[in-house]
Amino acid sequence: MLNLKLPSSPIPGLEVVEITDAHVEALQRFFETNSEYNIAVNGEPPGPSEAYEEIHGELPTGWSFAKKWLIGYLDKNGAMVAVANVVSDLLAPTVWHIGLFIVATERHGDGSSQKLYRGIETWAGASGASWLRLGVVEGNVRAERFWERQGFDQVRLRKDVKMGRLKNTVRVMIKPLRGGTLEQYLALVERDRPDTHNELVPPSQ
């Protein structure tokens, strides 16, 4: 899994890169220019070290995973127009988690979000994922509707998740890529059963 190639871009003219410290300034500009996500889920604009923290952020202690991918999409001028954080084999083999998915505001409504998500889904499925998992803040209606349209269903709610200045209710959502039932998923990821009480990595949108 560690030697997987990056997803290809489903949108002509966009270059796909794995974001590293070399991209910290471009990523920071992206966050500051497209601050709606931070305001919606954290209650405040992105801070001055937002990009650095995203690049170097670690998953909770004890969480098993294969790799954390931070993927950027650059236009012909080298400007970042979309970002995705994807974690392979999170908590169980074949379960991939979308921890962040932001598309530039200027591209909202033109189909870019759907195309880029579909590219990630195709890549993950071809790379061994049987399930996609994510969290979306309840009340972030645009994001909730987007993920529902992509075929994600809610597994459970997690309440009072501290995010920036806010305490949010997070909807944990999943999508099977090779068929499968909710019970089959929950047999893999016990923590997502509705009767468990624990935190979630930050939501996707």
Contact of 89 with 43, CB cutoff 8 Å: no
**Cα(first)–Cα(last) distance of the chain, in Å?**
26
User: Residue 4: its pLDDT value, please?
Assistant: 75
Residues facing 16 on adjacent strands: 73
- The Cα–Cα gap between 75 and 101 comes to 17
The DSSP 8-state label assigned to residue 201 in this structure reads: P
Phi-psi region of 53 (alpha: psi -120 to 50; beta: other; left: phi over 0): alpha
User: Residue 1: its pLDDT value, please?
Assistant: 44
- Residues near 26 by Cβ (< 8 Å), separated by ≥ 6? 72, 74, 78, 79, 80
Instruction: For domain 15-192, give the CATH number.
Output: 3.40.630.30
User: Residue 31: its pLDDT value, please?
Assistant: 97
The DSSP 8-state label assigned to residue 44 in this structure reads: S
User: Residue 39: its pLDDT value, please?
Assistant: 93
User: Residue 3: its pLDDT value, please?
Assistant: 56
Is the pTM above the cut of 0.85? yes
Residues of the chain under the 50 pLDDT cut: 1, 201
Helices (H), the chain: 24-33, 36-42, 50-56, 112-126, 141-149, 182-188
Of 142, 71, 132, 140, residue with least CA distance to 101: 71
